[in-house]
Amino acid sequence: MLARYNEVDPTFADRIMKMAEAEVYTNTDAIKDLSSAESLAVRLGAFAAVGITAVGLIATVVLTIFGYSAIAILTAMPAVLYGFSRVIEAIRSRGTESQDDEPDRWSKSIFGAHSARLNEGNRCVSSH
C-alpha cells in the first residue's frame, strides 16, 4: 500500500511511517504525563483532606483550652462532618462493591474522562 506513495516521491512511504511512529510516541508520553498528574492529584487530595481535618481538630482543642468554646465548635464542624460522610459512605457501599477495585463516585466523575482517554490510548499503543 505504501509503495504507491513512493511512485509519487521515493521518500513518502518512509516519511509516513516516521510520522506514524512519532504520533505513537507522542501519545504514549502524553498518557504517561497525564497518569502521573492524576496520581499526584489524588495523593495530594487525600493528604489535604486529612491535613484540613487534623488542623480543625487541633484548632478545636486549642480554642477550647483558651475558653473560646463557641468558636471551637465551629472549627470542629468540618472535621466532624467529613468523618460522618466517610462513615456513611462506608456503610452505604458495604457489600455493593469493593473499595479497592473501584474508585469512589467523586473520583469517577472528576477523572472519568481522563481515564477513558488513558484506556483508549493504551489500546492504541498496545495494538501497534
Q: Where are the domains of the chain?
A: 3-127
Which of 20-34, 78-92, 96-110 is most confident? 20-34
User: How many Å apart are CA 78 and CA 56, to the nearest integer?
Assistant: 7
DSSP 94: T
Arithmetic mean of pLDDT, 22-36: 88
**Model-wide pTM > 0.75:** no
CB-CB contact of 112 with 32 (8 Å): no
